[in-house]
């Protein structure tokens, strides 16, 4: 694993950890925006799996919060 791929994986791991600690829709939307911005940085995403895991976690938590009406 090269240095860039390692940094990429660590970044998305940190995003997943942050998502697991955020309990409000606004915070999750902000984190989702960050992930979208990183995804669009040419050359930043070297592996889709960590990105997709982060997006899935954020979307799942956001859907659960919105379903509750919070």
The predicted-structure confidence for 42-51, as pLDDT tens digits, reads as follows 888 888 898 9
Secondary structure (DSSP) of 5-66: HHHHHHHHHHHHHHHHH--SHHHHHHHHHHHHHHHTSTTT-S-HHHHHHHHHHHHHHHHHHH
Q: Could you say which DSSP state residue 69 is in?
A: T
Rounded to two decimals, the pTM is 0.85
How sure is the predictor about 1, in pLDDT bands with cuts at 50, 70 and 90?
Answer: low
Average pLDDT of the segment spanning 21-49: 92
- Report whether pLDDT(20) > 80: yes
Per-residue confidence band for 8, with pLDDT thresholds at 50, 70 and 90: confident
Helix orientation angle between 48-68 and 25-39, rounded to the nearest 10 degrees = 160
Q: How far apart are CA 62 and CA 26, in angstroms?
A: 9
């Amino acid at each position: 694993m090269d240095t860039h791929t390692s940094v990429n994986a660590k970044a998305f791991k940190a995003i997943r950890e942050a998502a697991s600690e955020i309990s409000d829709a606004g915070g999750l939307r902000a984190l989702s925006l960050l992930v979208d911005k990183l995804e669009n940085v040419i050359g930043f995403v070297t592996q889709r799996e960590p990105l997709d895991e982060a997006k899935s976690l954020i979307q799942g938590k956001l859907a659960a919060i919105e379903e509750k009406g919070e």
